[in-house]
Amino acid sequence: MAAELSFSHCVERYISSDVCYAVQRSQQKRRAKAVFVTAAVNGVLNVVWCLTFFTLRQIFPALAVILVNLTASVLLVLQVRRNGKLWFYVMLIYPVWITLATALNGAIWILN
């Protein structure tokens, strides 16, 4: 009887660990998808800002776009932080860079 309990316990433990692994993988996939979507939004905003600022030479609309991009970049870094500390530290430069570009865009708007 002790062998049956042990065997059933092992089977139960194996199944529950398999279910836990599946749940964990689905959560990782959702997180990865969220990071991918946020990164894609950042990429689109970067292109829109470049077109607005450099091609169309519309300083104020470019400032509005880059402020949205700054918010999206902070969200991206926070999402990356949930997935791993190393990539969090690597991605920290991105909002810093966007902040610098925002300050320059804002200064150009004020001076004009």
pLDDT in tens, 68-79: 999 999 999 999
**Is pLDDT at 24 greater than 70 in this prediction?**
no
Which tokens in the block code for residue 19?
């279910």
**Is pLDDT at 5 greater than 60 in this prediction?**
no
pTM over the 0.95 mark: no
Of 62-66, 82-86, 95-99, the poorest mean pLDDT is in 82-86
Q: Which amino acid is at 54?
A: F
Residue 12: pLDDT band by 50, 70, 90 thresholds?
low
- What is the spatial distance between Cα 99 and Cα 94, in angstroms, rounded to a whole number? 9
pLDDT of residue 43: 94
Residue 58: CB atoms within 10 A of its CB come to 13
- What is the spatial distance between Cα 11 and Cα 29, in angstroms, rounded to a whole number? 27
pLDDT of residue 20: 57
End-to-end CA distance of the chain: 86
- What is the spatial distance between Cα 17 and Cα 11, in angstroms, rounded to a whole number? 10
**Is pLDDT at 27 greater than 80 in this prediction?**
no
